[in-house]
Amino acid sequence: MRPLSRRTFIGTAAAVGTGIAVGQNALGANAAVNVGVIGCGGRGRYLIDIFRRIREVRLVAVCDVNEPRAADAQKAIEPAPKLYKDFRELIAHPGLNAVIIATNGHWHVLPAIHACQAGLDVYLEKPVGTSIGEGRVLVNVARQHNRVIQVGTQQHSWEHYRQAVEIIRAGKLGDISNVHAFDLDNFSPGFGAPPDGKPPAGLDWDFWLGPSPSVAYNPNRYHQHYWFFDYGGAWELDWAVHHYDIVHWAMNVTAPVAATGSGGKFAFPASNTQWPDTFTGTCEYGPGPVAKNGFLMTYVSRAGCDRPIEGRRHGKVFYGTDATLALDRSGYEIYSQTREGKKVVEERSARSSKPENDVVEDHARGFLAAMQSRKPPNSDIESLHQASNPGHLMNIAWRVGRRVRWDAVHEQVIDDPQAQAYVTKPYRQPWKLPVS
């Protein structure tokens, strides 16, 4: 761990030790909001462009352990923000109100914790960390310090998703027993197995690894980090958290009671990545407000064929006794069941009324509104921690090779110490995950 500069240490200690939250000053309706960006890769640059649309936002600081990447982001902003490599020094930037965290997954939680402890609000990219335990710690820290964390699951701010949720909650599909979510891609010819080597100039590889084990630089570990155990959870976590968020919202549930996972590197076995490229998982949910008898959520990801399901490559389908609803970012469609030659419900469809860029801007504006009101945002950290957990649990089940049962109250695997060991990721010293 890099030692903090004296200025950084004193500034952070003063903010936390005295109970004065440096980012907690009341924001008027037209007040300038000073924002720092941690992680300046593809998603970070995208969010820089989105937040630049908002008149009240001042992007005053950027940070990345890849220094050329951070410098490129700095050049894209006018006036030029302060440049940092260490996220802790950015968090101590004078007058900061909030941070955007758009790093890869294994660097989501620690910067967010530091930001909350320094009195800053957080716009956090998904998923919430690389383990269930990390997510719970972040929720607790955010609540302890009264911080707003908006997670970047923008579907939650999309009008046609809200409409679909209302239809499902109103019981218009009948009794729902199965929800199927899926992410279908064709990554041919695969990621390959490039040799280890030296990191590119300007990339601090040891800092990039951070709390994860020390290993040699490999291009796939850096560019395809989603597919390695230490940095991501493959599509069943990193992409599918979008789906689980909507499923939980629509079905009015928070956690499964059991999970399974099956898969392997069947499409591209020569790759040096670790997670399956072809995966099927299930989560069992107990009785709830929508599914009185409980329901089964099934999930499929495949990297070798992008043939759609119900005309969709990334989506979810809710199967009810009266109708089926298929939903993705383009819109939704309702297909009626037929009984005695008659359709049970009215079939209809709705298309998205906004392009995705505008929806992400709405999501960002919702974050700023929550900063002002101090009320939970659309994608609050608690609900998105819960929405990350199905992917974690299916991955845990895959790693141990059996169905796992889940105690959602205590967030523990039931009677399976081997599976429980995966609930919280061990950190490489001297990085530490606070436990209180």
Q: What's the Cα-to-Cα distance from 228 to each of 32, 133, 189, rounded to whole Å?
A: 39, 18, 18
CA distances (Å), origin 310, targets 182, 235, 325: 11, 19, 10
Q: Can the peptide bond before residue 189 be classed as cis, meaning omega within 30 degrees of 0? A: yes
Say what the pLDDT of residue 124 is.
98
- Has residue 11 got a pLDDT over 50? no
Classify 358 in phi/psi space as left (phi over 0), alpha (psi -120 to 50) or beta: alpha
Q: Taking a C-beta distance cutoff of 8 angstroms, is the pair 240, 234 a contact?
A: no
Please tell me the predicted confidence (pLDDT) of residue 434.
85
pLDDT given for residue 21 in this prediction: 38
pLDDT over threshold 80, residue 23: no
pLDDT average, residue stretch 341-353:
94
Mean per-residue pLDDT of the chain? 93
Q: Specify burial of residue 102 (Cβ count, 10 A radius: 0-12, 13-18, 19+).
A: buried
| Each residue's pLDDT tens digit, 255-282 | 999 999 999 999 999 999 999 999 999 9
The 10s digit of each residue's pLDDT in 63-102 is: 999 999 999 999 999 999 999 999 999 999 999 999 999 9
Beta bridge partners of residue 182, listed in sequence order: 300, 315
- Mean of pLDDT values over 214-230: 98
Question: For the chain, what is the radius of gyration of the CA atoms?
Answer: 22
Which residues, in sequence order, are bridge partners of residue 280?
A: 262, 300
E strands along 287-361, which residues? 295-302, 314-320, 323-328, 331-336, 338-339, 342-343, 348-351
pTM: 0.93
**Other Cβ atoms closer than 10 A to 25:** 12
pLDDT surpasses 60 at 143: yes
- Scored b (16 or more CB within 10 A) or e, 224-257 reads bbbbbbbbbbbbbbbbbbbbbbbbbbbbebebbe
**What's the pLDDT at 30?**
62
| DSSP string for residues in 172-189 | TT-SEEEEEEEEE-B-TT
Whether 142 and 276 have beta carbons less than 8 Å apart is answered as no
Residues 236 and 395: beta-carbon distance below 8 Å: yes
Structure tokens at 13: 């200690």
* Beta strand pairing call for 295-302 and 176-184: parallel
pLDDT (0 to 100) of residue 31: 79
CA-nearest of 215, 243, 238 to 227 is 238
Phi, psi of 226 (to 5 degrees): -55, -25
Q: Where are the alpha helices (DSSP H) in 330-416?
A: 356-373, 381-400
The mean per-residue pLDDT over the stretch 182-189 comes to 98
DSSP-derived 3-state class of residue 53: coil
Query: Using CA atoms, how far apart are residues 413 and 423, in angstroms rounded to an integer?
Result: 8
pLDDT given at position 435: 66
Q: 297-341 pLDDT, tens per residue?
A: 999 999 999 999 999 999 999 999 999 999 999 999 999 999 999
In this predicted structure, the answer to whether residue 57 has a pLDDT above a threshold of 90 is yes
Helices 159-169 and 241-251 pack at an angle, to 10 degrees, of 40
